[in-house]
Structure formats: C-alpha cells, structure tokens
Amino acid sequence: MTACRICGGDLVEFYDFGRQPLSDAFHKPGQFQDEFFFRLAVGLCTDCTMVQLMEEVPRDKMFHEDYPYYSSGSAVMRKHFELTARRFIETELTGPAPFAVEIGSNDGIMLKTIADAGIKHLGVEPSGGVAELSRSKGVRVLNEFFQESTAVEIAATDGQADVIFSANTICHIPYLDSIFKGVDALLKPNGVFVFEDPYLGEIVRRTSFDQIYDEHYYFFTARSVQSMANRYGFELVDVERLPVHGGETRYTIARQGARTPSPAVAEMIAEENERGLATLPTLEGFGENVTKIKDDLVALLTKLKAEGKTVAAYGATAKSATVANLCGLSTDLVSYVCDTTPQKQNRVSPGTHIPVRPAEAFHEDTPDYALLFAWNHAEEIMAKEKAFRDGGGKWILYVPEVHVV
Ligand code: JHZ
Ligand code: SAH
Ligand code: ZN
C-alpha cells in the first residue's frame, strides 16, 4: 500500500492511465530514443481525502532550462493575471513597504503588473528559459525551486512578504511539507498565501481527465486543502471558483486566527461532502467515464479516417499527452498538431510523436476536423479561428464527452 504524501494515510488507486511520457517533453524528430516514461495512476487518501498521483516524477526532469510552457501564450490568461495583480495591489499590498512573492512565476505574466506599479516583488522560478523572459520584462526573479531553504533565504535578504501567490504550481509540488514550512518562514503575521489550481470538483463534473499528467501531482478540494493547511498552523480563510483552465479554485490561506474565514469556505466543503466528491464510489464512476471517452474518441477518429476525412489537432498542451497516449493517437489518426509556441514547433508530441507545426499550418493545410486539445481556451481559439468553421471545418471536443461542433 502506498502512503499519502500529505498525511501518511492509505492511498487507494482509482484509475491507471498506463505508461505515459513527460507531458512537456517535445523531442526533435527521430531523437526520442531515451524518452522517459512512467506509470500515471491516481489515488485517494482515505484519511485526509487528498487525491494524488501514485508515482512521482523527479522535478528536474520536468522543470529545467528548456521547459516549453509560456503562460503568456493566451490573451485570456494575460487578462486574468493582470486583474489578479491589480486586486492584490488594491487589497493586500497597501502597507508602507509592501512585498509580493510568486512561486512559479513563469514568464512574468502576473508579476509584470506588480513590477510596473513599482512594488517590491520576487518570482521564484526554476525553469531557466521562462525565468529569463520574465527578467526582460523587468520582473525580479530567483531561478530556483521554492522550498523551505529558499524561503528562509528570501526572508533573510528581503524580509517577509504580504502576499505569497502561486498559480498552477502548488499542485505540481509533491513536497508540500517543505512548502508550508517555507511559507511559515516567509509570510508576515497577517499575510496571505494564495494559490489557484484545477479543482477536483470540476475535473469530476466534466470528466476533464486530461488534467491528470506528470506535472499535476495533487487534485485539491476545499476540504483537503483545509486539512493540509491546519497541519502546518494555517487556516483556509477564503475560496473562490475561477473559470480559467477548465475550472479552478483559488484558496486563500492565513495563519491560524489571523483572519476571519469567509462563509464560502464552509459552504464549499459542505457541498463537496454532500456530493461525496472525494470518495471511492465517485472517483470510480469518474474512471468509468474516462474509459467511455477514450473508446468514443478512438471510434470517432477511426470512423473519420475510414471516410477519408483529414484530422489535425489544435494546441500541443501538456494535458493532451494523457489523451493522446491513453488513446494511442498517432499520425495514423491525427496528422499534426498546431501550436503558437516556438519551443514546441518542429518537434514531436510526447510519446505519440505527432509533428508539432506552427499555427500557420492550420491555415495552409486546413483539416476537415480539428481535435481541440486546448479545450480550456475554446472561446479564445474558436473566435480567432472563426474562418475554419465558416469554411465548413468542424471541431472535435472530448470534454465533458466526445462531441463535434
Ligand atoms: P494550456 C500547462 O498545461 C502546463 P497545458 C502546466 N502544468 C499547467 O498547469 C498549465 O499549463 C497552467 C497553445 N495555444 O494553457 C499554447 C495556441 O497554439 O492549455 C500552449 O502550448 N493557440 C504548467 O499545456 C497550448 O496551446 C492559442 O490561441 O495543458 C495551451 O496550453 C492558444 C490560446 C494557445 O496548458
Ligand atoms: N503561474 C503560471 C505558470 C504555471 S506553469 C501560470 O499559472 O500560468 C508552472 C510553473 O511552476 C513552471 O514555470 C515551473 O517551472 C514552476 N515550478 C515547478 N516547481 C516549482 C517549485 N518547486 N517552485 C517554484 N516554481 C516551480
Ligand atoms: Zn492523506
């Protein structure tokens, strides 16, 4: 029996996605002899209810100099983080010497607004390429992994922070004990630790199983986050649902007793308990839905191929590694995947080796059907690619079920 990474309780596996590659490892064509694979499976802790991966991938294999995810690739996300920064400036960074720290600041998408406002800040970002780009935007960044020792160093040099923010990063870090101890060292007595990540409640509701891949180690609920925070002398004082990335929750954590919890916290936990969210029957039901989507998607793509239709994919997302490898999609069924990220282009998709081509390929070599791997950006992409549908093209989506629009 595997032990829970948070509380040591029993971890019960509920879905096995099989052998999977690193979701953000785009190899050069023909250069994937030493491609890394691991067993992607998820389990539930029957004690603290934290849902987590059964196997951990070493962090340096995922986050390094050539990490190819650039947060600023979506206009909707740029707006989202600009508004996030403005809200912090108005509500938390109002004292005489405000200081904001971001864990996983990537290309500076959030901190740029704080830097432009002349507020003291520091991004902690281990991936060299994205960190360097954020520096060119005037963002101050430490090119390291955040952990207890990093936090102690920052507190000694820069003092404690009013806000420690983190988006789409805390769920990537298996060693949360070290993170919470670090936050304890770095946060001012009345400061807040705010993080946002994909919400298990939404993943289950929409069967958005492709949120499960190497980088996403934890799948949070208000209940599991509250229980985790309590272990380290903190308290969950607010929760807010966010529409981005297919449905996330923003958790606000403060030192125990420092702030009055919002009623939203108890409401969300009550709702989770009522629907039996983090229970084996619910999660096994989710697993059955995943298998159905897999079968339906393979059947649809096989049928389209038999009819002589062309299919390409849109967005070489990390998420799509799970879908493509689970369904065994190769160039046989999907001829290419287009993506705006130069670091992914002219390379091949992880595990399935589908060529990644620039966005222009979609206009020059337009398929009959486009499999929308970046379904979380559907509105933004479908607006941008309006001509595709006007010209008779069809989108294939697989969340919450396989359908064509
Ligand atoms: P997107 C990554 O996941 C990895 P991914 C990570 N683990 C995570 O949690 C989230 O980000 C935050 C391209 N694109 O945002 C750009 C277009 O080509 O769904 C990206 O490669 N045209 C940290 O990779 C990809 O699609 C467009 O118009 O699943 C989108 O990736 C747009 C909007 C995007 O995250
Ligand atoms: N906050 C951005 C970036 C998310 S990508 C957004 O929401 O779009 C996740 C980032 O976390 C990557 O840039 C990765 O390099 C970084 N990361 C991974 N482990 C980390 C750690 N232990 N400390 C700080 N950053 C980390
Ligand atoms: Zn546990």
Q: How far apart are CA 250 and CA 238, in angstroms?
A: 8
134 lines ligand 2 (CB under 6 A): no
108 lines ligand 2 (CB under 6 A): no
Digitized pLDDT (tens) for each residue of the chain, 405 residues in all = 799 999 999 999 999 999 999 999 999 999 989 999 999 999 999 999 999 999 999 999 999 999 999 999 999 999 999 999 999 999 999 999 999 999 999 999 999 999 999 999 999 999 999 999 999 999 999 999 999 999 999 999 999 999 999 999 999 999 999 999 999 999 999 999 999 999 999 999 999 999 999 999 999 999 999 999 999 999 999 999 999 999 999 999 999 999 999 999 999 999 999 999 999 999 999 999 999 999 999 999 999 999 999 999 999 999 999 999 999 999 999 999 999 999 999 999 999 999 999 999 999 999 999 999 999 999 999 999 999 999 999 999 999 999 999
pTM beyond 0.95: yes
- Which of 377, 381, 384, 385 best tests ligand 1's pocket when mutated (most atoms within 8 Å of CB)? 377
315 lines ligand 1 (CB under 6 A): yes
Q: How far apart are CA 107 and CA 39, in angstroms?
A: 30
Report which protein residue has its CA nearest ligand 1's atom 11: 69
Report which protein residue has its CA nearest ligand 1's atom 3: 318
Instruction: Report the separation in Å between the CA atom of 317 and the middle of ligand 1, taken as the mean of its atom positions.
Output: 5
Nearest ligand to residue 128 Cα: 2
Q: How far apart are CA 2 and CA 16, in angstroms?
A: 14
Q: How far apart are CA 19 and CA 359, in angstroms?
A: 29
Atom number of ligand 2 nearest to Cα 103: 24
221 lines ligand 2 (CB under 6 A): no
69 lines ligand 1 (CB under 6 A): yes
Report which protein residue has its CA nearest ligand 1's atom 18: 339
Say if residues 201 and 239 touch (Cβ distance below 8 Å).
no
Atom number of ligand 1 nearest to Cα 215: 7
**pLDDT value of residue 271:** 98
Count Cβ atoms below 10 Å from residue 251 Cβ, excluding itself.
27
167 lines ligand 2 (CB under 6 A): yes
Atom number of ligand 1 nearest to Cα 76: 33
Residues in CB range of 81: below 8 A, 6 or more apart: 71, 109, 110, 113, 167
Instruction: Report the separation in Å between the CA atom of 368 and the middle of ligand 2, taken as the mean of its atom positions.
Output: 36
323 lines ligand 1 (CB under 6 A): no
**pLDDT value of residue 194:** 99
**pLDDT value of residue 238:** 99
